Structure 1
Amino acid sequence: MKIKVLIADDNAFVREGMKIILSTFGDIEVSATVQDGLEAVDYCERHEVDVALLDVRMPNLNGVEATKRIVERTKTKPLILTTFDDDRFIVEAIKNGAKGYLLKNNDPERIRDAIKTVHYGHNVLQDEVLEKLKSGLGAGISEEARGAARGADIDRTAFTERELDIMTLIAKGATNKDISKKLFLSEGTVANHITSILGKTGLTHRTQIAIYYLTGEVHSSD
């Protein structure tokens, strides 16, 4: 059964080009293309859509607000497809329920894979975007986003001090090896702590831990 996709972008060239590209994949069906967030929300309310590909900067209603309404009103899973110029919206989009944040300069196959990943209940946050969030811990994104990026909203009482240290480093893009060196722990011990964090949050992988730390909200597989 094909994955039904809606494409929302105010640039007609991007919108129609993406439709042509995605339509070449046998497992994806582009149900419609729209030019703004309001049209995207309206279409998802009236039709069965599996994944909505949303640009951030659109007239009438941007992709961040459209994401919130789509999540609240429908079963459609929003996937943000945008540019680095929109990095200040990353945290807000994820907090609004976006299941992924992907850059437009990706190869078609990677976009197709991201759509499939989101459709099957997982999150997509590519490394370059995670690096943007990491840099936002210091500067470069809005005050509100930086507040979320410091992990200010997570329930700290649910975790040990060591687990909080590890979550902070994961959110900054550190690997298990990096964490073991930084905290003077064996990689096995780091892995055990990560397993504990996953168990406490109900998440399934480290990218979701980063999202949880950065937004204060759990976005696990549905």
Structure 2
Amino acid sequence: MISIRRSNERGGANFGWLDSKHTFSFGNYYDERHMGFSALRVINDDRVTPGAGFATHGHRDMEIISYVLDGEIAHKDSERNVATLPPGEFQLMSAGSGIRHSEFNPSDTKPLHFLQIWIQPNVYGEAPGYQQKDFGRNKGLTLAVSPDGAEGSLVIKQDARVYQLLLDAHSQAELPASTKRHYYVHVIKGELLVDGELVTPGDGAKLTRIDHLALQAQAKAVQALVFDLP
């Protein structure tokens, strides 16, 4: 079964320095029909003006993924991690027993565009952790996040996998699936047929009770994320 969450149906917030679109309920946006999907709790599509950002704030017991689309993120946290994330970079911060961090757009001229993703962990109260990696630009599905670090992926505290999907126009990819799991596809660029349904930028597709996932780019190249969830 497939259900499409259209881009223009998302909630959001605009603070001037931040323009954010929320796939699921977040902050002041609340919709009981969209509280998350399986362990996937947040997909925020964030655009940050030059020189602005999120001041130091805290999290606990959440797996937080940032995926940079344009611009850079300057990251600092209470575990003494200091890093810059360029376009294409994945960051996975395991909040665990508690972590404080800040995220800023260090550029004076260029906006920052990134996805902020929260996945609920399956263990709680553990030590915080930080990982960061660029998985390149290989076409097809590239495993970026997994519970066991398979294929050099970042290690998450949940039985979940996140794939980077890059397709040329009119090309396709396939992912073996299980009827016992949940799948979510978030399109960033291009138009994608997901099991026969057209999904466009900002859209998300929820899939359940499937044993095969077919992904086919249309007339333009596609960039997307694919989630395999418990």
Flag whether TM exceeds 0.5 (same fold).
no
**What range is the shorter-chain TM-score in?**
under 0.3
TM-score (norm 2): 0.25
TM-score (norm 1): 0.26
Identify, as 1 or 2, the structure richer in strand.
Answer: 2
Question: Larger radius of gyration, structure 1 or 2?
Answer: 1
* More relative contact order, 1 or 2 (CA 8 Å, 6+ apart): 2
Identify, as 1 or 2, the structure richer in helix.
Answer: 1
